[in-house]
C-alpha cells in the first residue's frame, strides 16, 4: 500500500521549476552550440532553446515563441533559425519545423535559395505527405530548382518507397546534369535495398563505377546491408577488403561506421568472430572527437555478440574522461548488461547513475531496471526503484505501470495488476505507440469475472473504451461477457477483435537509442543534414 500511495501521489507532482532547470548540466552555459556544415559554430541562446525544446508543448506553434522573442527586443539570425528547424526535425516535430521554415522566409531572414527549398520539401513530405511535397516542388521557380531540390524530392520518394517516381526523377536529374552526386545515387541505392530490389542495387553499383562516381560510407553501408540480406558473406568480405586496400577510404575517421554496420550484419548472420574483428577495426578508426559519438553503437553491438568484457572495457575508458557522463550513455550500458543477462552489473551502473542525480526528470532509465526485475519476478526490487525515483521527483509514466505488470500478472497479484493497468490507461494519450498486451488484459478480466467484481470490470472497460484502446464491439462484448456468469468463453477470445493491435511489448520512445542496428541508424546523426538543407 505504501508503494501505491507514493505512485498515486507522484501523478500529482508539478513540473519542476525554472530554478531546478538552472541547476541542470545543460544550463551551465547560456548558449547551446551546434555545428553548421562542420565548420562554423551556431549559438542559440539557452533561454530560447529551453522555451522551444524543453518547456513547450510540442503541439503548440513554435513561431509564437519566436514572435515573442523578437517583440522582446531579441535578435535572431538565419543560421540560428536553420539550427532550430533541424533540431525540431531531429525530434520528429515536422509541423513545427515547417512552420518555422515558412515564418523565416516570410520575415525576410534570407533570400530565396535552393537549400531552403530543399529543406521545405523534406519537411512538407514528412508533415503533410508526398502529394503536397510534389505540389510545392512544382511551385518552385525553375531557375531556383537546383540539384539540391531534385535530390530532396528523390529522397522524399525514397522515404515513401515509390520506386517508379524515384527512377523518373533520377532520369530528369541525369538530363539536367544533376545526377553525378554520390548523395543522389545513395538515395536510390537505399530505396532499392529497402524494397528488396537487389538486382537493381547491383546495376546501380556498376553504373556508378562506370561513371566514376565515388562511393562514400553510406554507399558501402547500404551495400553491406544488401549482401547481408542475401546472406552473401563473401560479398561483405570483399567490400571490407576493398576498404582496406584503398587508403582514401580506410584512413577517414568517420568510416568507423562502415565497420560497425558490417559487425552488425555479421552478428545477425551468427558470425560472431567476424563481427568481433569488424568492431575492433571500427575502434581503430576512431578519433578523439568521434569517440563519444561511436560509444553507444559499439557497446550495443559488443553486447549483442556476448562480449561482456568489451562492454566493461569501453565503459571504463569512457568514464576516464569524467566530464560528460550522459544519461543516454548510462542507458546504453545498463541495457547492454541486461541484454547480457547480468542484472547485478546493470544494477551497479544504475546505482552509480542514481548517486549522480539528485533530481529525476523522468522514469526512462529506472524503467529499464523495473522491467528487468519485474521479468524475473523480483517485485521488491522493482518497487524499491519506483519509490526511490518518486522521492527524487520522478513521475511514473505508462511504461512504468506496464513494466510492473510484467511481474504482477505472472505472480497472480491481480489487485496490483488491476491498479497498474488502470493507471497506465489513464495516462495513455491517443497517438501513443503503447497498447496493453491482450494477454494482460485477458488475465485481468478473467480474474475480475471469476471474483464477481463486476463494478471494477465495467470501470476498466469504460476506461479502455474512452481512450479508444478497444472498439465499441469489444466494449459491448466484454460487458455482456462479464454479466453472463454462465459463460465459459476465455477472455482472450472476447478481446479477439482488438488483439491484433499489439502482439508484443512496445519500446519506450527513447529506447530507440539502444536499437542501433542498421546502416542508416548508425549514420543517422549526419545523414539528415547530408540529405537536405545544405547551404
The predicted structure's pLDDT at residue 203: 96
Does residue 288 have a pLDDT over 80?
no
In whole angstroms, what is the distance from residue 367 CA to residue 487 CA?
Answer: 38
Q: How confident is the model at residue 503 (pLDDT cuts 50, 70, 90)?
A: very low
Q: Which three cell numbers stand for residue 228?
A: 547481408
Higher pLDDT among residues 441 and 286, named by residue:
441
Q: How confident is the model at residue 499 (pLDDT cuts 50, 70, 90)?
A: very low
* β-strand pairing of 31-36 with 40-45: antiparallel
Query: Distance from CA of residue 423 to its chain's centroid?
Result: 25
- H/E stretch holding 42 reads strand 40-45
Angle at CA of residue 408, ends 403 and 412, nearest 5°: 150
Query: Per DSSP, what are the bridge partners of residue 32?
Result: 44
Query: Distance from CA of residue 413 to its chain's centroid?
Result: 33
- Taking residues 342-355, report their average pLDDT: 94
Does residue 34 have a pLDDT over 60?
no
In whole angstroms, what is the distance from residue 480 CA to residue 99 CA?
Answer: 49
Domains of the chain by residue range: 406-510
- Grid-cell match 465499441, residue found: 472
The single-letter DSSP state of residue 216 is -
Q: How confident is the model at residue 362 (pLDDT cuts 50, 70, 90)?
A: confident
Q: Which three cell numbers stand for residue 258?
A: 562502415
Do residues 265 and 224 touch, judged by C-beta distance below 8 A? Answer: yes
In whole angstroms, what is the distance from residue 511 CA to residue 515 CA?
Answer: 7
Angle at CA of residue 178, ends 212 and 127, nearest 5°: 120
How far is CA 100 from each of CA 40, 73, 103, 218, rounded to the nearest angstrom?
A: 22, 19, 5, 30
Does residue 11 have a pLDDT over 90?
no
Percent of the chain with pLDDT over 90: 61
Q: Which three cell numbers stand for residue 141?
A: 521557380
Q: What is the pLDDT of residues 451-471, one digit of tens each?
A: 999 999 999 999 999 999 999
The predicted structure's pLDDT at residue 430: 76
Return the closest-CA partner of residue 189 out of 177, 171, 202, 173: 202
- Taking residues 256-264, report their average pLDDT: 94
Do residues 462 and 476 touch, judged by C-beta distance below 8 A? Answer: no
Hey, is 200 helix, strand or coil?
Answer: helix
In whole angstroms, what is the distance from residue 10 CA to residue 267 CA?
Answer: 42
Does residue 274 have a pLDDT over 70?
yes
The predicted structure's pLDDT at residue 15: 31
The predicted structure's pLDDT at residue 356: 86
Higher pLDDT among residues 4 and 56, named by residue:
56
Does residue 89 have a pLDDT over 80?
yes
Does residue 515 have a pLDDT over 80?
no
In whole angstroms, what is the distance from residue 420 CA to residue 416 CA?
Answer: 6
Q: What is the pLDDT of residues 311-338, one digit of tens each?
A: 999 999 888 776 556 777 899 999 999 9
Q: Which three cell numbers stand for residue 370?
A: 523495473
Q: How confident is the model at residue 22 (pLDDT cuts 50, 70, 90)?
A: very low
Least confident window among 3-17, 214-228, 400-414: 3-17
The predicted structure's pLDDT at residue 122: 96
The predicted structure's pLDDT at residue 210: 94
Mean pLDDT of the chain: 83
The single-letter DSSP state of residue 38 is T
Q: How confident is the model at residue 42 (pLDDT cuts 50, 70, 90)?
A: low
Spatial neighbors of 13 by CB under 8 A, at least 6 apart, are 393, 395
How many other C-beta atoms can be found within 10 angstroms of the C-beta atom of residue 524? Answer: 14
The predicted structure's pLDDT at residue 347: 97
Does residue 401 have a pLDDT over 70?
yes
Does residue 131 have a pLDDT over 50?
yes
Amino acid at each position: 500500500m505504501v508503494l501505491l500511495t507514493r505512485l498515486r501521489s507522484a501523478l500529482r507532482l508539478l513540473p519542476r521549476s525554472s530554478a531546478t532547470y538552472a541547476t541542470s548540466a545543460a544550463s551551465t552555459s547560456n548558449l547551446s552550440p551546434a555545428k553548421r556544415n562542420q565548420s562554423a559554430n551556431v549559438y542559440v541562446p539557452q533561454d530560447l532553446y529551453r522555451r522551444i525544446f524543453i518547456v513547450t508543448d510540442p503541439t503548440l506553434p513554435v513561431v509564437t515563441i519566436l514572435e515573442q522573442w523578437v517583440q522582446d527586443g531579441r535578435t535572431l539570425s538565419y543560421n540560428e533559425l536553420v539550427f532550430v528547424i533541424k533540431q525540431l526535425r531531429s525530434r520528429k516535430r515536422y509541423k513545427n519545423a515547417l512552420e518555422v521554415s515558412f515564418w523565416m522566409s516570410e520575415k525576410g531572414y534570407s533570400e530565396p535559395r535552393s537549400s531552403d527549398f530543399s529543406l521545405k520539401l523534406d519537411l512538407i513530405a514528412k508533415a503533410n505527405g508526398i502529394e503536397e511535397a510534389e505540389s510545392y516542388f512544382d511551385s518552385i521557380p525553375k531557375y531556383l530548382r537546383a540539384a539540391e531540390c531534385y535530390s530532396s524530392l528523390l529522397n522524399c520518394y525514397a522515404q515513401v518507397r515509390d520506386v517508379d517516381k524515384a527512377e523518373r526523377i533520377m532520369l530528369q536529374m541525369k538530363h539536367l546534369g544533376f545526377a553525378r552526386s554520390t548523395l543522389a545515387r545513395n538515395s536510390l541505392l537505399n530505396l532499392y535495398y529497402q524494397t528488396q530490389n537487389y538486382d537493381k542495387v547491383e546495376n546501380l553499383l556498376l553504373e556508378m563505377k562506370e561513371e566514376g562516381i565515388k562511393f562514400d560510407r553510406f554507399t558501402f553501408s547500404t551495400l553491406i546491408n544488401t549482401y547481408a540480406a542475401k546472406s552473401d558473406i563473401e560479398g561483405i568480405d570483399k567490400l571490407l577488403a576493398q576498404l582496406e586496400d584503398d587508403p582514401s577510404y580506410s584512413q577517414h575517421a568517420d568510416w568507423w561506421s562502415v565497420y560497425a554496420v558490417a559487425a552488425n550484419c555479421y552478428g545477425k548472420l551468427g558470425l560472431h568472430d567476424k563481427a568481433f574483428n569488424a568492431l575492433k577495426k571500427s575502434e581503430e578508426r576512431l578519433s578523439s572527437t568521434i569517440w563519444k559519438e561511436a560509444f553507444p553503437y559499439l557497446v550495443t553491438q559488443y553486447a549483442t555478440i556476448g562480449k561482456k568484457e568489451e562492454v566493461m572495457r569501453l565503459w571504463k575508458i569512457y568514464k576516464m574522461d569524467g566530464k560528460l557522463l550522459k544519461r543516454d550513455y548510462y542507458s546504453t550500458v545498463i541495457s547492454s548488461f541486461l541484454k547480457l543477462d547480468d542484472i547485478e552489473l546493470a544494477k551497479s551502473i544504475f546505482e552509480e547513475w542514481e548517486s549522480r542525480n539528485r533530481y529525476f526528470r523522468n522514469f526512462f532509465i529506472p524503467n529499464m531496471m523495473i522491467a528487468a526485475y519485474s521479468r524475473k519476478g523480483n517485485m521488491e526490487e522493482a518497487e524499491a526503484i519506483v519509490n526511490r525515483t518518486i522521492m527524487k521527483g520522478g513521475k511514473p509514466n505508462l511504461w512504468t505501470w506496464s513494466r510492473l505488470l510484467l511481474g504482477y500478472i505472472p505472480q497472480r497479484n491481480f489487485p496490483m495488476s488491476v491498479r497498474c493497468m488502470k493507471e497506465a490507461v489513464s495516462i495513455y494519450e491517443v497517438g501513443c505507440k503503447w497498447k496493453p498486451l491482450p494477454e494482460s488484459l485477458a488475465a485481468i478480466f478473467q480474474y475480475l469475472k471469476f471474483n464477481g467484481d463486476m463494478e471494477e470490470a465495467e470501470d476498466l472497460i469504460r476506461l479502455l473504451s474512452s481512450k479508444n484502446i478497444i472498439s465499441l464491439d469489444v466494449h459491448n462484448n466484454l460487458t455482456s461477457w462479464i454479466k453472463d456468469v454462465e459463460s465459459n468463453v476465455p477472455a482472450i477470445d472476447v478481446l479477439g477483435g482488438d488483439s491484433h493491435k499489439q502482439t508484443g511489448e512496445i519500446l519506450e520512445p527513447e529506447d530507440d537509442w539502444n536499437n542501433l542496428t542498421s546502416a542508416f541508424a548508425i549514420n543517422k546523426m549526419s545523414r539528415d543534414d547530408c540529405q537536405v538543407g545544405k547551404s
